[in-house]
């Protein structure tokens, strides 16, 4: 016998005047009642069967109970919850369904049972059924917010972005909480879908919506540039991405490849170099370092490229990007030349702890090598950010000296 039954049900059973639900007066729940109602015999029979490890027979007793009044109804709700918490979803569902079928249930208790049943369905993966109940509960003022939060979880998980937007907007109106970030991200998801369908105009509409929810939404800015570039408007695309220099410089590495392509389409190498030189000051990302070194090698030759790399090693406090670059199999071959001891650079950077993953969720601490718009750990939107490494962790002086680079 799981002692949880004893702990939770026995005190209820042994009380002659028993409290069905002691709840805070401010709670949204229903019954705060001390009753002198006699405990039904069926309750004792059911409890006895539970204690004797016969949950199926106990369940039958509870389901067949002739009398379910307001007091015993809450007890059934609690029993169903216990089954659900123990992972016995089918039994929980039966208890709650049985309760809802009772014609004499008060509207408040019915709403409570519906909410519990929605949780049973959710746990069983029956999202459509849970959604149906929650849509009904959404109309009940006491459960409006709870139902909306639950629905948002389902729509988010099921990638039903239009429905998620409707519910998140309702929650924003109902509460003081800011739902701007998830709303903007839902719009970005819709924009991505529109792009995959070749509907650039529709994508732009969703991106405008995203930027109304979050004025400087990084993702919306990135996608806006992509849409403009796909239309052949490379100047517009670049000016979109350049907005990131102001509002989200850490994310410039994400778009440097796209910016490179657009400048190439415009045959404007000079502006591209200027962009890289500006960006590396605010975002020493491996992709920006790589692009600048490659650009220098191509335009000024191998020696100039190597010298630039040495300069970067000397000057940059954040060398995590360089570490990634050197580990990258696609790094330019000249970077593996003998004039720079790349193995030593890698070893030193490893020692300094810069191997740590580049992205981290500010909400739950989830680490990742790639940018996620929704954290895979805590499911928060827009919480994964690029890490920055403190200057003292890298010890550039020691690095320079071991590389024989003049200070």
Chain residues in the site for Zn ion (CB under 5 A): 361, 363-364, 366, 375, 377-378
Q: Which are the contacts of 389, defined by CB distance < 8 A and separation ≥ 6?
A: 317, 318, 319, 320, 353, 354, 356
11 vs 365 by CB, closer to Zn ion: 365
* Pairwise CA distance, residues 92 & 97, whole Å: 9
Question: CB 363 → Zn ion: shortest distance, Å?
Answer: 4
Using the minimum distance from each CB to Zn ion, give the nearer residue, 357 or 391: 357
For Zn ion, which is the closer residue by CB, 122 or 381?
381
| CB 401 to Zn ion: min, Å | 39
Instruction: Provide, rounded to whole angstroms, the least separation between the CB of residue 211 and Zn ion.
Output: 24
Residue whose CB is less far from Zn ion, 81 or 385? 385
How far, CA to CA in Å, does 12 sit from each of 21, 86, 317?
10, 19, 64
Joined together, the tokens standing for residue 54 give 């016969």
- Are 180 and 381 in contact by the 8 Å Cβ rule? The answer is no
Tokens encoding 206: 């969703």
| H/E run at residue 19 | strand 18-19
**H or E element, residue 35:** strand 34-35
| Residue placing its CB nearer to Zn ion in the complex, 31 or 361 | 361
For the bound state, the minimum distance from the C-beta of residue 383 to Zn ion, rounded and expressed in Å, comes to 5
Minimum separation from the CB atom of position 381 to Zn ion (A): 10
Per-residue tokens: 201: 């105009």
Nearest distance, CB of residue 376 and Zn ion, angstroms: 8
Nearer to Zn ion, 174 or 378 (CB): 378
Q: Where are the beta strands (DSSP E) in 286-377?
A: 359-361, 367-368
C-alpha gyration radius of the chain? 30
């Amino acid at each position: 016998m799981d002692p949880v039954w004893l702990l939770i049900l026995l005190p209820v059973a042994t009380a002659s005047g028993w409290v069905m639900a002691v709840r805070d007066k401010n709670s949204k729940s229903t019954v705060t009642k001390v009753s002198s109602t006699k405990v039904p015999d069926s309750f004792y029979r059911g409890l006895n069967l539970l204690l004797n490890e016969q949950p199926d027979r106990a369940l039958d007793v509870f389901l067949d109970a002739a009398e379910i009044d307001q007091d015993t109804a809450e007890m059934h709700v609690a029993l169903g919850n216990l089954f659900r918490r123990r992972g016995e979803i089918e039994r929980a569902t039966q208890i709650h369904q049985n309760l809802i079928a009772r014609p004499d249930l008060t509207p408040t208790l019915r709403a409570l049972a519906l909410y519990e049943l929605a949780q049973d369905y959710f746990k069983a993966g029956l999202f459509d059924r849970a959604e149906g109940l929650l849509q009904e509960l959404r109309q009940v003022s006491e459960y409006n917010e709870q139902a909306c939060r639950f629905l948002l979880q389902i729509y988010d998980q099921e990638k039903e972005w239009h429905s998620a937007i409707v519910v998140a907007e309702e929650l924003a109106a109902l509460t003081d909480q800011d739902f701007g970030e998830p709303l903007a991200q839902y719009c970005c998801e819709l924009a991505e879908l529109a792009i995959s369908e070749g509907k650039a105009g529709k994508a732009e509409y969703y991106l405008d919506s995203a930027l109304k929810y979050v004025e400087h939404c990084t993702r919306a800015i990135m996608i806006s540039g992509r849409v403009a570039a796909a239309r052949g408007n490379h100047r517009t695309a670049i000016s979109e991405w350049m907005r990131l220099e102001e509002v989200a410089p850490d994310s410039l590495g994400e778009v440097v490849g796209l910016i490179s392509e657009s400048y190439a389409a415009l045959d404007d190498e000079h502006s591209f170099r200027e962009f890289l030189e500006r960006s590396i000051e605010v975002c020493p990302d491996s992709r920006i370092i790589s692009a600048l070194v490659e650009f220098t090698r191509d335009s000024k030759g191998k020696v100039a490229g190597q010298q630039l790399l040495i300069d970067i090693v000397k000057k940059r406090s954040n060398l995590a990007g360089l570490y990634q670059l050197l580990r990258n199999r696609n790094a330019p071959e000249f970077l593996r030349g003998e004039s720079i001891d790349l193995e030593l650079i890698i070893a030193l950077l490893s020692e300094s702890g810069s191997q740590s993953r580049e992205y981290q969720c500010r909400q739950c601490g989830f680490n990742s090598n790639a940018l996620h718009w929704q954290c895979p750990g805590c499911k928060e939107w827009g919480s994964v950010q690029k890490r920055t490494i403190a200057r003292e962790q890298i010890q550039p002086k020691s690095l320079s000296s071991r590389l024989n680079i003049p200070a």
